[in-house]
Every structure is written in C-alpha cells, then in structure tokens.
Amino acid sequence: MTQTTDSTDLTDPTDFLAPARLGRLALPNHLVMAPLTRNRAEADGTPTDLMVTHYSQRASAGLIIAEGTTPNPVGQTYPDITAIHTDRHVSGWRRVTDAVRAAGGRMFLQLQHGGRVSHPATTGRTPLAPSPVPLPETIFTPQGHRRAAVPREMTADDIRATIADFAAAARRAVDAGFEGVEVHSANGMLLHQFLADNTNRRTDAYGGPAARRVRFAAEVTEAVADAIGADRVGIRISPASTVNGVLEEDTDGLYATLLDRLKGLDLAYLHLVRSGPATGWYRRIRADWPGVLIGNPDLTGLSTQGVTRAARETAGADLVALGRPFLANPDLVTRLRLGAPLNPVRDRYFMYVGGAAGYNDYPALADQAGLPSSDSMVASDGSRVA
C-alpha cells in the first residue's frame, strides 16, 4: 500500500515541512500545490512559456498537481485551458515538467472534463453531460459571459469513448514527463455531475441509486489505473460541494459507495476538498480510506499563521494541498519554514486575463523588502481560497 511518513497525523507545526513519501516518490515536504485554473495556455490548450516559468518557480512544493487539463476537445471548460489529447500538448507539457524537474520538483497532472461546464462558443461543440440539465449560471467564453448551453445527454457510446479518452490522456501525461495523474471528480465537473442527484437524472446503469451514480467516476479511475498503473493515479472529490450548481442528497452514502469501489485499486492518493477537522463526512472518509489522503483545507485569508494553523488542523491527512498560498508565494515553503509574511493574492488577475501579471510576478521573499504582507492585507476573495 502507498505510504507517506510514519506519522500521518499532522499535529505538530513543523510536521508538514518534514520529508514524506508518496509511493515511489520521495517528497521534500508534506505540502502539495493544488491545481488552479489560470487560463494561461494557448487557444488549442498547449502550455506556454508563462506556464514553464510559473510551475518551475514553485518547484519547492513537495508535489505540484498541475491545473485541470482536458482529455478531449468537448471537455474544455473555458478559453485558454490546458489540454492533453494531441502530440503538441504532450510536447508543451514536457517543457513544463522538464523545467520543474530541473528545479528539483515533481508533478502530477489533473485530468478534467467539464461536462456541462462548457460552451459551444468556446469548443464549437455541444457540451456532454449525464443529463440535459444546463449550468444554472452564465459561463465565460471568448465572447465574454454567456448563458449556459443545454448539454446533450451522453449515450453509452459517449460514455465508453470518454472513459477511453481519460485513459489515453493519462498515457500522454506520462509521456509528457508527469509522475502521475489526478482524476478530477470534484467541483461540479463531469464526473461529479454523474455523482450528484440534480445533474444525473438517468434511469440506466449510470443513474438512480448511488451504486449506479458512482459507476462512471469509478470506471474512469479504473481505466486510468489500468493505463498507467494505480500507483500513478489519484482522485479528487469534493463531498457536499455545490460549486457549479451540483447538489448531493446523500453525501455520506454516496461517497462511502464510491470509495468502497475504489479501495481495492491501491491508488496513489485520495484528494479531499474542504477537509476541515469539524466536518463529519471528512472524519468518516479519513477513517474509511486505507491509503494516502491529501487534505485541502478551507482558508479564510492568507497569512503565515493562518496557513500554518490550517495545515496543522487538517487532522489525519498525510499531505496538505494549498492553492492560493502557492499562487501568491512561489517560495511558500521557505516562508512557512521561516515564519515570514505571505504575499496577498491579487484576484484581479486570477482568471481570464492572461499575461504574467498576477501569475509570474509575485515576489520571492528575498526581493520583497518593504512590500506589504498578507499579515496586514487579507485576500479580498477569501471564500474562494483553496
């Protein structure tokens, strides 16, 4: 079974800075850079020079999980999102992984199909989803925010083809130099749409009771594990999340059913969004999951003390995933080790704008003398801190 360090309860403030293991990987610390959508790819999904710089700047993370990357054209969510279904994509990502490896880092790639979180104005295709239930909000496209399109209900052939696309994308990711992949079954994306009651109204073998609603997510994960080896595969889930308009009526039973299906695969890890110690479903999943658990705690602001406290309170997690702290602080590990102040996130540049501003121009500690820190400036969008 995959193991991290001997101690898996991060109750000491320095534990998350100690070395760890993730299967075949030796990690310099327990901190994981969480996947963050930033819209800095080329229009066809190929990574850019900006991304080479961005990820290599953050190579001191124990593990980087690169942003959600589509396994096929119809799975694209927004403009300028990364992809991994052509040779050009593989070559582009290889430049990123080579740079990160040269800087001492390690990377997984998150595989993300948006399902109904997509638009014909972006992809030229009608979105696919478990049922023809549109996103209840607008979606960003090359022409700005547009009303969401009604997706086409996936046929049995669509389901088989999509599972095959995930497996092929995983093989391409390994060819591109990634250590492994993360299957995105969270945050209202396609796999989560199959899990959720309000977006899955099917009456066939992929809808209805929980045992059928988990089938698609399980079959995707199984196919990816068969393609590249289970020890190279993680899965991300977000129980009780309502992001992108999903709603689960039986969170506990649903995820117990899903994890029962996945336990025997011996995956590299389970990545759990909103993994606060007070959440009942989190405690139950931690007790039930036999392998490595990556906890992704809620943060209400960015400060050295707040991030340290959140990492400590991710009770029982083997590794701790942080999004915005790594975004705004390329040298986050050093700052936490020294107890130094953190940069605040500039939300104006978070998505849709492109360019280096708010992406590659966050200063390292050595270059920051006299700049305000997050101990005196709280990120303005605390509710979205990853």
Tell me the whole-structure pTM to 2 decimals. 0.92
Q: Find the helix or strand (DSSP H, E) in which 328 lies.
A: helix 324-328
Predicted local confidence at residue 381, as pLDDT: 31
Q: Which of 148, 145, 82, 84 shows the shortest CA–CA distance to 115?
A: 148
**Do 252 and 200 touch, CB atoms closer than 8 A?**
no
Q: Any idea of the CA torsion for 158, 163, 166, 170, to the nearest 10 degrees?
A: -150
Predicted local confidence at residue 228, as pLDDT: 98
Kindly state the DSSP code that residue 244 receives in the 8-state scheme: G
CA distance 315 to 14: 14
| Residues with pLDDT less than 70, the chain | 1-14, 277-278, 315, 349, 368-386
| φ, ψ for residue 319, nearest 5 deg | -135, 155
Predicted local confidence at residue 259, as pLDDT: 97
Predicted local confidence at residue 379, as pLDDT: 33
What is the per-residue pLDDT across 153-168, written as a single tens digit (0 to 9) for each? 999 999 999 999 999 9
CA distance 321 to 31: 6
CA distance 386 to 383: 9
Kindly state the DSSP code that residue 267 receives in the 8-state scheme: -
CA distance 103 to 98: 9
Q: Which of 63, 59, 67 shows the shortest CA–CA distance to 40?
A: 67
Predicted local confidence at residue 55, as pLDDT: 98
Q: Find the helix or strand (DSSP H, E) in which 20 lies.
A: strand 20-22
